[in-house]
Amino acid sequence: MKKKAKFSAESGITMIEVLLASTVLTIASMGLIGLIASSIATDTRNKFDSTTTMLAQSIVEQIASTAIGSGTASLTDCAGTAWNIDTQPGGATITNGAIDFSQTSPPAAYHMDYVVKSPCTSSGIEQAVYDVRWNIELIGASTTPTNTYLLTVSSRMKDRGQGNRQFALPVTLRVMLGN
């Protein structure tokens, strides 16, 4: 004959233990969701920062490839707008060594609102618009110019009413160029 096993009050899992374990698991999951959301926001900010830096570098390269003071270069954005880049000394206002983005009307050939779309075609979906400004300054005495120029280029993403994107700070590049 077989003996039947006796059940005691201590055998099995109680409903309170299940609820406690579920609560701990839920709290841990909420923490992970917060980390994932933070990672996505950081990745997005880094993408915008990289684009800002790339645009500033593009202006530096366009001006460097043109003899400064002797012509213009151009850069076409994803909307198909061809922007003229003046290489004459002058440009956007500089305040305390940085481009002043509070200037409401920067000179046209020293400023662009570069449109980025995905894919980069006129029918692509607009990702962002970047405010890019530059200033070219002749270094040395005006009577005996040294043919050396200080190029200051700043770029920042414009807030297009799609939420607060002020976390992407302007990128400023300062380069010495000569003829």
Whole-model pTM? 0.72
CA 91, chain centre distance (Å): 22
pLDDT in tens, 137-170: 888 766 666 778 889 999 988 875 455 454 567 8
pLDDT in tens, 96-137: 888 999 888 999 889 999 999 989 888 999 888 999 999 998
Where are the chain's structural domains? 16-178
Residue pair 19/135 in contact by the 8 Å Cβ criterion: no
118 token code pair:
């995905």
- Please give the Cα distance from 157 to 169 (Å, whole number): 8
Pairing relation of β-strands 148-157 and 125-139? antiparallel
- Please give the Cα distance from 168 to 93 (Å, whole number): 21
- Residue 147, CA distances (Å) to 78, 88, 91 in order: 34, 12, 17
pLDDT in tens, 14-66: 889 899 999 999 998 998 998 998 898 888 888 888 888 998 998 888 888 88
